Amino acid sequence: MSKNSSYILKDRVIPKGILVAIGGKEDKKYDLHILSTILSLVKKQNKTIEIITTATQHPEITGREYYKIFTKDIKNTVGLMHISTREQADDLELLKRISEADVIFFTGGDQLRITSILGGSRIEKEILRRYENEFCIIAGTSAGASAMSKTMICGGDSSEALRKGTINVSTGIGLIDNAIIDTHFVERGRFSRLMQIVSMNPSNIGIGLGEDSGIIIEGGCILRAIGSGITVIIDGQHLKYTNVANIDSDESIAIENLIIHTIVNGYGYNLFEKKYLKPDDLKKMNLIESEVNTNENN
């Protein structure tokens, strides 16, 4: 992406890395649309991919599944990182591998495992440093996507989610600081929990990733949807009123004027300008090429 692009604000640091956040249950059997799109963002033949299984309690099984997919192209070098302790998260050998990977992929599981094990570690710092300063792909699915945002949803029953205090929030890795990512979104009906979080601080954009749905985030701001499902965007910038500061815990939340969009494969969203992007808008931008089909659903 050109640094001269009009949508880049001058007072922001534009990260050189690219994020791919996936809502979980991405296709692993058929066309592998999302997973192959991730690899296609790296414009070289011999790609190095590191799979971090920290989120899951079953690192061997989960890791092997992705290992098989990413090694289908035998030119790729794929490593598994079963980091399950804070000591391992500071390990210098693993750190070196992170510093050299083209793609760092976080599996699903529990996002609190990611943050409690990696939070503040050398590996987390190196991921953040690389994301800001070097071209690299940082991808994550389900918990691996949720942990990307600075404000991270880590619990809360969607059916109770418009009652004050029913959603648990913690601090994520912080690759994104102006948006909050939720996953399995449409399938688990999680609208209300993201609405609560956005209404509590409308400066955040809520990103609800459906299953087999993902977004490529370029320059820290331009989202492009990939996959077969839906990504929901909840924008609080025009919020006119909420009672959330005036009610007791567990009381119902009144909210006036949230804006909601859905984006599907080929559509996008500008996080800084809070602007919906149609396939034609995306084509005009100098974005990295991928296997994303921007014509589908047009």
Binding site for a copy of itself (CB under 8 A): 158-159, 161-162, 186-192, 195, 210, 228-230, 240-241, 243, 246-247, 251-265, 267, 276, 278, 297-298
Q: Give whichever of 66 and 191 is closer to a copy of itself, judged by the CB atom.
A: 191
Report the nearest approach of a copy of itself to the CB of residue 4 (Å).
Answer: 27
Q: Give whichever of 107 and 265 is closer to a copy of itself, judged by the CB atom.
A: 265
Q: Give whichever of 175 and 253 is closer to a copy of itself, judged by the CB atom.
A: 253
Report the nearest approach of a copy of itself to the CB of residue 187 (Å).
Answer: 4
Report the nearest approach of a copy of itself to the CB of residue 275 (Å).
Answer: 10
Report the nearest approach of a copy of itself to the CB of residue 131 (Å).
Answer: 28
Q: Give whichever of 51 and 277 is closer to a copy of itself, judged by the CB atom.
A: 277
Contacts of 76 (CB under 8 A, 6+ apart): 39, 46, 47, 48, 49, 70
Cβ atoms 208, 258 nearer than 8 A: no
Task: Please provide the size of the chain in residues.
Answer: 298
Q: Give whichever of 61 and 254 is closer to a copy of itself, judged by the CB atom.
A: 254
Cβ atoms 20, 176 nearer than 8 A: no
Q: Give whichever of 152 and 186 is closer to a copy of itself, judged by the CB atom.
A: 186
Closest C-alpha among 180, 174, 290 to residue 227: 290
- End-to-end Cα distance, the chain: 23
Q: What are phi and psi of 30, to 5 degrees?
A: -100, -105
How is residue 31 annotated by DSSP? S
Report the nearest approach of a copy of itself to the CB of residue 192 (Å).
Answer: 5
Distance, in Å, from the CA atom of 121 to the CA atom of 42, rounded to the nearest integer, reads 26
Report the nearest approach of a copy of itself to the CB of residue 217 (Å).
Answer: 18
Report the nearest approach of a copy of itself to the CB of residue 258 (Å).
Answer: 5
Distance, in Å, from the CA atom of 223 to the CA atom of 285, rounded to the nearest integer, reads 12
Report the nearest approach of a copy of itself to the CB of residue 263 (Å).
Answer: 6
Distance, in Å, from the CA atom of 75 to the CA atom of 63, rounded to the nearest integer, reads 19
How is residue 251 annotated by DSSP? P
Q: Give whichever of 109 and 210 is closer to a copy of itself, judged by the CB atom.
A: 210
**CB count, 10 Å around CB of 42?**
21
Distance, in Å, from the CA atom of 181 to the CA atom of 67, rounded to the nearest integer, reads 25
Coil, helix or strand at residue 62: helix
**What residue type is 132 in one-letter code?**
E
Tokens 């710092």: give the residue.
125
Q: Give whichever of 148 and 195 is closer to a copy of itself, judged by the CB atom.
A: 195
